[in-house]
Amino acid sequence: MRPFAFERAPDLAAAQRVVALSASSRAETVPAMLLAGGTTLLDLMKLDVLRPERVVDINALAGRFGGVAAEPAGLRLGALARMAQVADDAGVRRDYPVIAESLALAASAQLRNMASLGGNVLQRTRCSYFRDVSHAACNKRNPGSGCAALGGCNRQHAVLGTSDHCIATYPGDFAQALVALDAVVEIEGPQGARRLPFAGLHRLPGDRPDEETVLRPGEIIAGFLVPAGPWARRSRYVKVRDRESYAFAAASAAVALDLDGDRVREARIALGGVATIPWRAREAEAALAGQVLDEAGAERAAAAAFREARTHGDNDHKPELGRRTLVRALLEAARMEI
Amino acid sequence: MPDGSMSGRIGQSPVRVDGRAKVTGAAHYASDMAVPNPAWAWLVTSAIARGRIAAIDEAAARAVPGVLDILTHRSMRGEVGDAGFFAGGGYAGSTIRPLQDDRVRHDGEIVAIVLAEGLEQAREAAYRLRIDYAEETPAAGFGSEGAELVSAREASGGSFEDPGVGDADAAFAGAAIRVAADYATPTQHHNPIELFTTTAQWEDGRLTVFEGSQYVHGLKNGLAAQLGLDPAMVRVESPYIGGAFGSRGSLTQRTALIAVAARRLNRPVKLVATRDQGFTIASYRAETRQHVKLGADTDGRLVALVHEGTEVTSRPDPYKVAGTQTTSRIYACPNIRTRVSLLHADRNTPGFMRSPPELPYMFALESAMDELAHAAGLDPIELRRRNDTMREPIKGLPWTSRSLMPCFDRGAAAFGWAERNPAPRSMREGDWLVGWGCATTIYPTHLGAATARVTLTPDGRARVQTAAHEIGTGTYTVVAQAAAEGLGLPLGKVLVEMGDSDLPPAPVSGGSNVTASVCTVVMQACEQIRARLAAAATEGPLQGRDPATLRLLDGALRAPDGAAEPLAAAMARAANGAIEVYAENIPEGLPPDSLKKLYQGKQALGGGLEGKQHVMAAFGAEFVEVRVHSRTAELRVPRILGAFAAGRIVNPRTARSQLMGGLIWGIGSALHEATEIDRRTARYVNDNIAEYLIPVNADVPQVEVLFVEEEERTANPLGIKGLGELGNVGTNAAIANAVFHATGKRVRELPIRIESVL
Ligand SMILES: Cc1cc2nc3c(=O)[nH]c(=O)nc-3n(C[C@H](O)[C@H](O)[C@H](O)COP(=O)(O)OP(=O)(O)OC[C@H]3O[C@@H](n4cnc5c(N)ncnc54)[C@H](O)[C@@H]3O)c2cc1C
Ligand code: SF4
């Protein structure tokens, strides 16, 4: 870790002022980073992967951006709400089970108590080459240096949305639920507030894997708005992992279904553990629309979702695992009593 | 220091005497020890596995405020001598000596040490140190160009013989039922929760090192050899250890470097290495490839057994575990051939890791036994019954005791094995395929020479001093129990001091020998005290009684007829005050120089399967239920059960906890644990415990341990067989066998993960 200045921002304006005014004094550092739960940021600072000159604690904004509110239009989640708080919320569990499950199945109890929703969606990849600065080649950490995971250890790496420059998996769970439910992300910036479809927040790696989101300097995620819809209650998050708890997804699927008998009116599907960003599987949704949701239908949808998958050796099993995970999630959601 | 007020003799289950101190934080581990004004060390480790250090730029690092010095090969060359490889009569777990030249011989080798006023400053400076390498293409291990294969026999200079008997290949060719298969086990790291730390302090030319160690006398003598000191000038303190599992058994190279740093700065130096550095500055379990052939007659009786194994090691050190020494001895079989080879690669030197030989090699043998049972159409337990033997097959020596089949029978009954449908893929619950598997577990009964000082004071208190180690197994407690038993005192009146090389030497806490070795010598010391008191009881209430019949019990010296004299009075006859006895013991069957080697800090365990008259081991049978999701192939173990026979159980509570821990470890070893290595660079990749998985609570919902009573008369006077490493030996195979039963797929490579059965 390198020395940094630490500040607590008492309000939004102060937070933005600090971030906007800071300038980097050295090429190797970034001017300022926000601290919420710190469970991603501090780890990566200790590993020397992130080198902010200033760390701005925004937890004092929790009064304004830390709530969970069910409104007629949908569910409003503050960026500083803790993962555990939302996972345990009775209303969320009943009306948006995919959100509660995606949070409850993530990380450990200690981390969920500490970590915020805003920090969660911005967590960084678990690619080991990214997290260890002694590996020289990592385009995400050091643009233009290459990608050690291509041809290296890539069992956990992505098969969807990859590029020749980066195949790192987006590791989180909650973001899949947001993507599937068409959530909107609310952003406060120095130039004012703006809203984006959550699915537009993360960027594909392309040739700039270091640029992970469309957030601009000084912008803060204020919260998420999840629209109410007939699919929200019949929603489910299936997470497949190497051990029973406290592990990142080997593959996961967030699904929300609006059924008419055994026929699908509308399906919402997002995939985790297999893609470089929270992955909306629109081809799979299209394959299901208007169809009977049985084993064969689910398999057709899953095949569509992974048609473009590209594997890299250690992760050759991922398309098959991803397909099966999606089939399982669809059939389990179809069986839900709501 | 531990104090316990529970009563607890041998065979009872007092709570750990140090339990309260540990859960309240009162127990101080090595890096908790307060030293005046310490400087902090931060290691810089190599980013390549093979090559040379071409240039070091210290400028930016030295500019960090608080930096005191940066040690590199340029300033440290010649400072640290060779302590020799432990398995060749020396002390070191690895003979690769960092900072002694510009070579890099493995990933994560120490290439510099930053010393600073504070930990954060040392770390920052370490991050700013620039090292340029002249890299050479390394060999990572199996399949790598440049790796060098030698037979273990050759590597040992002829001292190692591959066990064998008869003509196994001919017998296999003619066998009615045959199975032959290749097995693979991965690199695994101990990851004890306590990081690798060293604190060094010099006072008047005398060096004190605080470091978690499984062998303080070994570390002391090895350090003295490396630093050219009289061993009397070195002291190692290690009162508590936060897990070791073999990783702290032999000297590692960091310790001498930190000692030199402290001497140079003329102040104490403290190092707490990081989790990822722990993967490369200490040892690990070597990756293996194995081949097993089993031939049997139509009744399932073995006629041929072939077991070949190859183990990865470093370039210089011929470290091997050679588990064929065990796998060739378990079952009756007239024709056996084994062969162990080593593959030298650009890796750090592997070393002991819980059940070092047995864990990988028994995975292969016990998987193959299950394959044979399937091929022969026999229940796997029945197959083992048909090949059970009270004599090992290589030399025909008798087992001192062996309760393998009683363990299978007790375990099978408790597990409900009779309900098992033998057909693979025949059992199911909802979306989950269910499989039941079992395997034999074994661990040789090792013993070592040991010494102890026992002091009894007239107020009825005893102090036991022996340089054994509390690695989490409960040694403080069982040693206290032995003294309480021998002196007839309540447990709370016994104070045990261990983990300090100034104390009488005790053997390495490895090979599951400590309870047997140390309790034996403590009992001998107690017996000498009893004999002195008995001999002095010529007057008073015990007058005229045969001294040999007098016993120490409940705070008094007692005769069989009920006559008794309180301890204080009996002691007043025998001595003016305290009675202090120093006892030394060489277990029967060990060479006479064992004691000398102990004082020199060498590792010299005996017994086990090396005996000339008999062989001794603890046995057990392990049963697991595995569930595999029929769609997504997650593997889970909802229950596991082990039935074990290990002679006299000194403390069933701590014994159970060892065996439970072993079973849980076995689950991890079978399903989770693997160090990933980038084959191009020979570097470890998942070197942290977020990515190197071990079981969490949710993975081990039901773990059951049963003790099968066993009388052992030969191994040692107390009839103890060690069991610290018994628990995790059979688990890998039991799980693989259960996975086969659940899915119909035989997985011969560990760990078994989703993609193995998808
Ligand atoms: C061992 C381990 C296992 C884990 N397992 C899982 C898992 O299984 N599933 C899973 O989903 N996650 C997992 N996580 C990740 C964990 O959920 C995230 O670290 C956590 O959610 C991040 O939230 P935080 O509030 O601590 O973020 P911080 O560390 O405080 O911040 C993370 C990043 O987001 C930025 N940031 C934070 N808040 C805002 C905001 N409001 N606006 C703009 N920028 C912001 C910070 O500047 C920083 O760059 C695991 C983490 C660990 C360490
Ligand atoms: S996959 Fe991406 S994060 Fe990983 S090494 Fe390659 S560029 Fe870096």
Q: Are A227 and A181 in contact (CB under 8 A)?
A: yes
- What length is written for chain A? 338
Among the partner-chain residues A243, A317, A321, the one whose CB lies closest to the CB of B696 is: A243
pLDDT of A31 reads 86
Residue range A8-26, pLDDT digits in tens = 999 998 888 877 766 666 6
Closest listed ligand to the CA of A276: 2
B-contacting residues of A 2-41, CB under 8 Å? 2-3
The finding on whether A315 has its CB within 6 A of some atom of ligand 2 is no
Taken in order of first residue, the domains within chain B and their CATH numbers are 19-27+447-607 (3.30.365.10), 33-136+193-243+248-281 (3.90.1170.50), 149-188+284-445+611-757 (3.30.365.10)
The CATH number assigned to the domain holding A223 equals 3.30.465.10
Q: What is the 3-state secondary structure (H, E, C) of B488-555?
A: CCCHHHEEEECCECCCCECCCCCCCCHHHHHHHHHHHHHHHHHHHHHHHCCCHHHCCCCHHHCEEECC
**Are A230 and A304 in a shared domain?**
yes
pLDDT of B428 reads 97
Q: What is the mean pLDDT of residues A320-328?
A: 98
Which of A49, A124, A125, A139 has the most ligand 2 atoms within 8 A of CB, as the residue to mutate? Answer: A139
Residue range A122-154, pLDDT digits in tens = 999 999 999 999 999 999 999 999 999 999 999
**Are A144 and A219 in a shared domain?**
yes
A243 and B699 within 8 Å at the Cβ level: the answer is yes
Residue type present at position B644: F
**C-alpha triplet B360, B646, B418: angle, nearest 5°:** 75
**Are A14 and A83 in a shared domain?**
no
d(CA B236, CA B256): 12
The finding on whether A125 has its CB within 6 A of some atom of ligand 2 is yes
Which residue minimizes the CA distance to atom 31 of ligand 1? A119
**Are A101 and A32 in a shared domain?**
no
**Are A12 and A160 in a shared domain?**
no
Q: Are B234 and B223 in contact (CB under 8 A)?
A: yes
Number of separate domains in chain A:
2
**Are A249 and A147 in a shared domain?**
yes
Last residue of a domain, one of A33, A57, A81: A57
pLDDT of B198 reads 98
A-contacting residues of B 121-150, CB under 8 Å? 123-124, 127
List CB contacts of A23: < 8 A, sequence separation 6 or more: A31
A324 and B633 within 8 Å at the Cβ level: the answer is yes
* B293 φ, ψ (degrees, to nearest 5): -125, 130
Closest CA to B381 of B736, B711, B737: B737
d(CA B274, CA B725): 27
pLDDT of B2 reads 41
**Are A73 and A13 in a shared domain?**
no
**Are A188 and A283 in a shared domain?**
yes
Asked if B57 is an interface residue toward chain A (Cβ–Cβ < 8 A), one would say no
Domain extent for A330: 66-338
The verdict on whether B725 is a catalytic residue reads yes
Which of A40, A42, A248 has the most ligand 1 atoms within 8 A of CB, as the residue to mutate? Answer: A40
Which residue minimizes the CA distance to atom 11 of ligand 1? A172
Sort out which chain A residues have CB atoms less than 8 A from B677's CB and list them.
153
Q: Please list the ranges in chain B whose pLDDT falls under 50.
A: 1-6
pLDDT of B219 reads 98
In this prediction the pTM is 0.97
pLDDT of A27 reads 63
Q: Are B372 and B178 in contact (CB under 8 A)?
A: no
d(CA B702, CA B695): 13
**Are A165 and A311 in a shared domain?**
yes
**Are A202 and A127 in a shared domain?**
yes
Asked if A283 is an interface residue toward chain B (Cβ–Cβ < 8 A), one would say no
Q: Are A44 and A30 in contact (CB under 8 A)?
A: no
The CATH number assigned to the domain holding A7 equals 3.30.43
pLDDT of B446 reads 97
Q: What is the mean pLDDT of residues A231-250?
A: 97
**Are A188 and A218 in a shared domain?**
yes
Residue whose token pair is 């969807």: A160
What is the interface pTM, i.e. ipTM, of the complex? 0.96
Last residue of a domain, one of A10, A27, A57: A57
**C-alpha triplet A166, B135, A47: angle, nearest 5°:** 50
Burial of B425 (0-12, 13-18, 19+ CB in 10 A): middle
**Are A220 and A134 in a shared domain?**
yes
